[in-house]
Structures are given as C-alpha cells and as structure tokens.
Structure 1
Amino acid sequence: MGVFSLKKYNVFAGVLGDIKLARFPVSISGCQDSENAHVMSELVSESGARASLVIAADEVHAKKLYEDYRLFDRNVYFYPARDMIFYSADVHGKAIMNERLTALRNLVSKKQVTIITTFGACMDRLIPLNMIQEKVINIYSDTLIEDTAELSARLVAVGYVRVTGVTGPGEFAIRGDIIDIFPVSEKVPVRIELFGDEIDSMRRFDAATQRSIENISEISIYPAAEIILDEARRIDGEEKIRADLKKLNEALRKNMKTQEAFRLKSAVEQFLNDVEYLGALASIESYITYFYDNTVSLIDYFDEESLIFMEEPERTVGAGKAVYTEFADSQSRRLEGGYVLPGQLNAVYPAEEIAERLANKRLVLISNLPQKLKITEKKSVKVKENYGMSARLMGGYTKNFLQLVSDIKSWKKKNYRIVIVSVSTARAERLRDDLDYNGITATIRDASLAAKPKEVVLVIGALSRGFEYPDAGLVVVSESDIFGTVRRKKSEYSAFSEFKGTSIGSFEDLKVGDYVVHENHGMGIYKGIEKIESGGALKDYIKIEYAGASNLYIP
C-alpha cells in the first residue's frame, strides 16, 4: 500500500468490491483529468487485474492520461490509432506502428500491463492475438542456426526489412557470420555472432557507435508488422483482391470512368507486386478483410481477467462515431474515384459495434458526472452501480508559496496524508528545504511506501495537476501546481492577434452566451451555472455548450 493508496476510502472499496464480484458495468463519477489516472491505477493494482485497457475520446486526452498514469504505474503503454484515410509507410507511419507493436508485445509478455488508447484505435480491425504469439522468434544461446537464409526468410515473413546496416526498429542485416537484428520492441539492436552453426556470442549494441552494451543469453523477436501473411494466406487474399478489382474495373469502364479504372488497376497491381516479390506489408492494413476473415478489435485482446476503463463515455463513444462517419464518407468517395476496392471500406469496425462489445466486457466507466454507455440514440446500457467520489482538482500556488505552507498546515490538522510530486531529486531536495524553513518537515521517499496521516511526503515523478480527496484524507500536489507550467514564448506578432481572447479570474466575469475556450475541449458557449447532484450532494457546475448539443459541466 503506497503513498497514493485509496484502499481505506469507503467509496473506492465499494467499486473494488463490485469488480471482484464481476458486477459490470460499474460507474464512477466525480473525477476528472489526473484524478482519473490515479483512481484507475489504484483499481488495477488492488483488483490484481493481469491486464487493463483505458479508452479515451481522442489522442490528446489519451496522451495526457498516459503521462499522468506513469506516475502511479510504470507498466503502462500508449497505443495510437492508425489514420486509415491518410495512412502511409512514411517515418510517421512507421513510428505509429512501432508504438502499437511495443504495446502489444508487452501485453503478451508482461504479468501486469496497462494500455491507454482511443476509441478510434479500438475500431481498427486486427488479427487474433494468438497469431502474433505464434510468430514470435525465440533465439537462445544454445540455438543452432544452420541456415541464415531460412532465418532471413522468417524475419521477412513477420515484417522485418533486410538492410546493409541496422539503424532503426524492424530492420536486420546478415554479413557472413554476423547477424544484426533490431526488434521493434527493443530500444537497441542485437548482434549474434556465429561459429559454424552455433552461436558464439549474443549481445545488445549501440547502432550509432557499434559498441557493445551487454551480453544476453536469449532474445524474443516479435513481429514488425501488425498483419502477418504466410504463402497460402497471401495467395488466397490476392485472388479475392483480383476478383474485386475485375468487378469494379468493369463497372467503372462501363460508366465511362476510364481514368478512374486505370488508376485503380495501377495502384492495386503495384500493391500486389510489392507484397509478393518484396514482402512489403506497407498499407496492407486497409486490405485486411481480404486476407483475414476472423478479424478482432483491440478490446478482444483483453480476456475475462482484464479490466477495461472508459473515460467520459458519452463523449468518447461520440468521438468514435465521428471518426467512423468521416472514414465511411471518405472511403465512399475514394471508391467512386478509383482509389480503393469495396473491401477496403470495411477496414474499421462501426463505432456502435465496438460499444456493443464493450458492454459485455469487465467495464468501468469514469466521468465527472454520472453517465451510461450509450450505444445508439435509442439504446443505452444501464450501469449496475454508480459511485460518486468526493474529489477536486488542486488550485494553483504560483507566486504564493506561503499559501501552500498555510494549506499544508491546515491539511495536517485534518489528518491528511500529504504527497508532493517533484520532477527530480534535486528539485525535491530544494522544496524540502523550503518547507523546512517554513516549519514543515517533509521526507523524500519511494511512492511504494505508505504515508501516515499528517505526514508530508515528496515523491519523484510528473503529474499535470494535483487533487484532493477530502473523504479519503489524501491530498496530492504537483510541482506545476506550485510553480506553474512552462509555456513557450509566443511571437509578438500574430496574424490572429486582433482576435486574442481575454483571461478571466473568475466565472463571475462571464455572461451567458459568451464564447469560452476550455484548455482541453476547445471553444464552446457559456450557459451559466447549474446545480447537479454528484456524490450524494448538490454541487454548482459551469455549463458549456458545444456543437451537436453536447454539454460540458465543470465543477
């Protein structure tokens, strides 16, 4: 039980009890931003879930959640969505794929892991996880490598590219008795030196300097592609593609769209040649339904021992529907223009289907206000229980350190556990000395060690914003709460300077109908103050209206 523990908090204990009794879906309200990351990490830890998936509305929220989550649990990975409309095999596309594969590799191999992603990423069609596991190449110090050509073929089959010298993930090189492989899930490549067909040495090395880093006795090489093709599957998929190509090509020519027909045939033939003769799997994701009948979603990679969290479910499912609508509209136009085949329109799952699947999972909804899982306009999944947490985000102390000192003394009188998060040991030591100068004793220690009531603890890490749980007797202060966040200096001249907004000191400065900009959700219209019941009590919330009649409530 570490410094961030909520184990003795009654509401948290209730949620944990429902999880252990498999009463899903369960809902938690009253939390937002960094509080969400904290509550989810504590539930994962206390429930003993082997794996967990966290779903956010979009990449901005997912990345912010990922950065906060890392303070509480380092076994967390970000899984970005593919851009199926503009996807290409450029540097950015490869970086996205490597990040996705790293997350999947850790899902397969680690005892406990959390993956944070977006609803859009859950809509991607994937091959079953067991097919990825079957293609892992394990090499041990006593492995015999009788034929380097055979090893080369195996590596190419799982997406690796042969080069003269490895420089990045997904590459390998064979020069005589030296084999260099840069696994997609590793930060550095591995060099295997042979003596005949036996392995003489195996070590990690720096690709830039060629210097050895450490000797190893084994290495697991995970696929460098999300879609893996053996010869039989490739031939079968090619036949389906050619059948669709012939049918669509004839239809386009019949309608006098010869340019579109030529464009389509050229693009598809180039793709098939690259796959057959070069083993190139770039852009194959959009053709997945031609090669695999039994595709799955990322959520299907999480079994009955896993937990799935969804942040702000109404907004998140709505974002998924918007992504699918954009994809479907774009692909329909591209189909008419001779850019894609009919099967490529099914490269992602509809948002409603993913929401339906989530309803049957071990699902925990977490949001500021109580919400249901809304699948369609007429169909919602009712939660088994909603738990209201008493939580609030920390206010800032910029240029007012004495106010922090005063608040700490007040929290100590209330028997709070007080945790301050600092980005480095040196800064934590300076902060400890400043607190000591003001009559407050603080200790620097590992976050895994429990804190006692009235104790002030400094831990090393990063957190976007602190928070307080009055009923749990816990307060967490981030360094950005104390010193503020560092922002880039803006240019003195801007083309939009005449439209620059005005900062407000209080919501009382606002009038109903004013346009406001939320730092995470963007521009909306201020609609006043509403009283809403949350956590068993009426609270005041600022109401902001967005396009599509969606509303944001801010405590």
Structure 2
Amino acid sequence: TPALEASFSSLKFFASTSIFIPLGISSLIFFPENAVEYFVSYYDYYQPEAYLPHTDTYIEKDSSINDEIDRLRLKATSSLMSRDDVVIVASVSCIYGLGSPDEYKELLVFVEQGEETTREEILKRLVSIQYERNDIDFARGRFRVRGDTIEIFPAYEESAYRIELFGNKVEKITQINPVTGKKIIDCKKAIIYPAKHFVTTSSRMERAMKSIEEELRERLIELHSQNKLLETQRVETRTKYDLEMMAEIGYCSGIENYSRHLSARPAGSRPWCLLDYFPEDFLLIIDESHQTIPQLNGMYNGDNSRKKTLVEHGFRLPSALDNRPLKFKEFERLMPQTIYVSATPGPYEIKKSE
C-alpha cells in the first residue's frame, strides 16, 4: 500500500484530499508546480540471497531491475536535495537502506558556464560518482567525450547535458535530447547527482575497506575458535573478492551489505533511508494505515531472519545485518507530522490520535 510523503508549508493538501478519500472515488490530484516523484521497489523480479541449512542449499541473489523505476527513485532523491516543494509517492521501500544523504549531496558535480576547470577534472569527478564512460552507447548514468565536448546523461533525467570547453574554461552548457543530440535549451549551469545511492569518496572507501578487513579478521578468529572451517573459507573468499572489486572499480556487487562501513556507522545502528532525505518539517500521510502500519512493523523481522542464516554459515559478515529496513521504533522516531488515512483504523492509529 503506497504511503504519500510530502514536504509542505501547510495542511492545505490534507484539506483537499479529505473531500474525496472518504468517498472512495477515483481522483486526479494535479500539482502544476511541484516536483511529484515516485519511490517504490525497482525490481521486476527479485530472489534474495539465502541459505537453507536443512538441504545445504545456497541461493544466490538474482534480480531484474526496472530501468525506469530506478530512474524515478534517483529522481526522487535528487529532487529532495534541490527543492522544497516535493511530493513523493512511496511504498514500504522508503524504510530500506540507502546511502548517506550528506554524502549524496556532497558528491554532486556542479559545472557552471565560465568556470575555470579542465576536461580531465570533470571526467574524474563523474567517474567518482559512478558514471561510466561509453562513447558508443549513450544511456542513463553514462557520459561520452568528443574532443573538448562532454555529454552527460544524468541517471535520473530524460534529457542530457552537453558541456563545451575552450581550453580550461567552460564555454557553453546545453540541455539536449540524448537520442537526437538536438538542443533543448541553453543553461547557465549543470548539476549532476550521483548515478547510484551508495557512493562515497576515495578516502572514505579506503577507510571503509580497512574497517571491513578488520571485521573479517575478527570473524575469522571467531569461526576458527568454533572449528567452523567451511564457514571460515566461505566468508574469507567472498569478502576478499569484494574488497578487490572495491579497490579496482570503487564498487562491488552487493556493496549495500557493507553500508555500515561505508558510512562509518556503529554496529547495530539504523541505516539511512529515504526519510533522511526529507527536511525536518515534512508531512507524512499513511494511506490505508490499518494495513500499512502492520506491514511496516513486520519488514525488519523477515529480513533479519534470512540474513542471520547467511552470517552464521559464512556467506556474509555480521555487518550485513545492518543493511536492513528500519525497525518500527526507528521509523516512529523519524515520523514528523503524520496523518493516518483509513476507513477502519487500527488500534495503533486510534491510540496515536487520542
């Protein structure tokens, strides 16, 4: 059941929606000026990583990501970073772990017309926020280079930027159609947010890798002391491979399982999530709250049970347990002004409304 999260200066939205919500009729809500975004799970198909001890069966993570929904998720966070008048329609995906909002904003690439910079510096900054160079296949999250012209396709947009340099100076910035290359509009500046939610600087990556190595050493000692030789081999092989990938390309498959190290959070602390990207004074509206609240309440337990089995049998380090959805108490602490919408409210909403 979707939850509607919005940043507003007043409750005028609630006043208008109160007219049609009790009637149970189809409605069109028109926001002519606001950034209206969408944040749900981007998987068309998802088989989580799992281990079944009773049959000794390891199930590798398998998924199919919907490219358009991935774009919309990135668009949602980029809008929250750059605007105040944002409306987000979200599912329970909003309580699952994302990268740090501070690092996400800190690592944006800002290019302004007339700015003194070099082509190499712009390319280096793009690579650091997970953009890939591809001069043939120009797609979301990629850039291409032709002489002193750089074309960037932001991971969250439907249009691209063309940046033209003359020597060490940005001469012209144009918003273009990524297919035809035709100009849409001239721009004074271009702001490029990261291509992924899990991004960090090279220095923080090095620090995180040292922290992962330290956790691995401690875990190997623990498993050796329990005479769990197979589990020892599993976790050592897996973690060292992931560390090699991080060192080579700054990323690895399943990097979210190391999110605690990447954001330097203490063990057991909650992950960052979409709610952290909002300002403090936003409005939260929970639709069909009698169903949504129990759903939010149950997400942590299922995830934790599956990952505990992976950790116990050497498929993941214990820190993977901190890549998780929020516990309900953690979600409650992040809840600002909240409106529960339900024809049959549950005991939780009734108690909160007293």
Question: Is the TM value for this pair above 0.5?
Answer: yes
The one-letter code of the counterpart of 2:97 is D
State the Cα distance separating 1:281 from its structure 2 match: 5.5
The answer to whether structure 1 residue 237 and structure 2 residue 208 are counterparts is yes
The answer to whether structure 1 residue 159 and structure 2 residue 111 are counterparts is no
CA 1:132–1:156: 2 relative to 1, 3 Å: same
State the Cα distance separating 1:225 from its structure 2 match: 1.9
Partner residue of 2:38 out of 46, 65, 78 = 78
CA 1:305–1:250: 2 relative to 1, 3 Å: closer
| Alpha-carbon contact 1:172-1:179 (below 8 Å) kept | yes
CA-to-aligned-CA distance 1:294-349 (integer Å, 9 cap, x gap): 55332233334310111233321221233222211110111123221100101124
The one-letter code of the counterpart of 1:134 is E
The answer to whether structure 1 residue 194 and structure 2 residue 165 are counterparts is yes
In structure 2, distance between residues paired with 1:298 and 1:132: 12
| Alpha-carbon contact 1:171-1:182 (below 8 Å) kept | yes
| Alpha-carbon contact 2:211-2:261 (below 8 Å) kept | yes
Taking only the aligned residue pairs, the percentage that are identical comes to 22
Q: Partner of 2:56 in structure 1?
A: none
| Alpha-carbon contact 2:98-2:198 (below 8 Å) kept | no
The answer to whether structure 1 residue 47 and structure 2 residue 7 are counterparts is no
Instruction: List gaps (5 residues or longer) in structure 1.
Output: 1-32, 50-67, 375-379, 385-555
State the Cα distance separating 1:209 from its structure 2 match: 3.6
Q: Secondary structure at the match of 1:72?
A: coil
| Alpha-carbon contact 1:313-1:373 (below 8 Å) kept | no
In structure 2, distance between residues paired with 1:304 and 1:208: 39
CA 1:45–1:292: 2 relative to 1, 3 Å: closer
TM-score, structure 1 normalization: 0.52
State the Cα distance separating 1:161 from its structure 2 match: 1.8
Q: Partner of 1:145 in structure 2?
A: 117
State the Cα distance separating 1:356 from its structure 2 match: 2.4
CA-to-aligned-CA distance 1:222-244 (integer Å, 9 cap, x gap): 11121222233212211221122
Computing the radius of gyration from Cα coordinates, the structure with the larger value is 1
Q: Partner of 2:21 in structure 1?
A: none
Partner residue of 2:338 out of 338, 352, 363 = 363
Q: Partner of 2:314 in structure 1?
A: 338
Q: Secondary structure at the match of 2:77?
A: helix
CA 1:45–1:150: 2 relative to 1, 3 Å: closer
The one-letter code of the counterpart of 1:351 is K
| Alpha-carbon contact 2:80-2:86 (below 8 Å) kept | yes
Instruction: List gaps (5 residues or longer) in structure 2.
Output: 14-25, 50-59, 266-270
| Alpha-carbon contact 1:309-1:363 (below 8 Å) kept | yes
Q: Secondary structure at the match of 2:345?
A: coil
Q: Partner of 2:192 in structure 1?
A: 221
In structure 1, distance between residues paired with 2:170 and 2:83: 27
In structure 1, distance between residues paired with 2:67 and 2:155: 10
State the Cα distance separating 1:254 from its structure 2 match: 4.8
Q: Partner of 1:487 in structure 2?
A: none
| Alpha-carbon contact 1:225-1:281 (below 8 Å) kept | no
CA 1:235–1:46: 2 relative to 1, 3 Å: closer
Q: Secondary structure at the match of 2:175?
A: strand
CA 1:71–1:167: 2 relative to 1, 3 Å: farther
| Alpha-carbon contact 2:103-2:200 (below 8 Å) kept | no
Q: Secondary structure at the match of 1:106?
A: helix
In structure 2, distance between residues paired with 1:69 and 1:171: 38
Q: Partner of 1:288 in structure 2?
A: 259
Q: Secondary structure at the match of 1:173?
A: strand
Q: Partner of 2:297 in structure 1?
A: 321
| Alpha-carbon contact 1:69-1:76 (below 8 Å) kept | no
| Alpha-carbon contact 1:166-1:189 (below 8 Å) kept | no
| Alpha-carbon contact 2:94-2:275 (below 8 Å) kept | no
CA-to-aligned-CA distance 1:473-514 (integer Å, 9 cap, x gap): xxxxxxxxxxxxxxxxxxxxxxxxxxxxxxxxxxxxxxxxxx
| Alpha-carbon contact 2:216-2:317 (below 8 Å) kept | yes
In structure 2, distance between residues paired with 1:269 and 1:69: 53
| Alpha-carbon contact 1:313-1:372 (below 8 Å) kept | no
In structure 2, distance between residues paired with 1:224 and 1:350: 24
The one-letter code of the counterpart of 1:133 is K
State the Cα distance separating 1:96 from its structure 2 match: 4.8
The answer to whether structure 1 residue 383 and structure 2 residue 328 are counterparts is no
Query: Which residues of 2 match residues 436-451 of structure 1 at below 5 A?
Result: none
Q: Secondary structure at the match of 2:353?
A: coil
CA-to-aligned-CA distance 1:358-402 (integer Å, 9 cap, x gap): 45x21111111234536xxxxx85214xxxxxxxxxxxxxxxxxx
The one-letter code of the counterpart of 1:260 is E
Aligned length: 322
TM-score, structure 2 normalization: 0.78
In structure 2, distance between residues paired with 1:116 and 1:316: 14
In structure 2, distance between residues paired with 1:106 and 1:258: 49
The one-letter code of the counterpart of 2:302 is E
Q: Partner of 2:23 in structure 1?
A: none
In structure 2, distance between residues paired with 1:286 and 1:84: 16
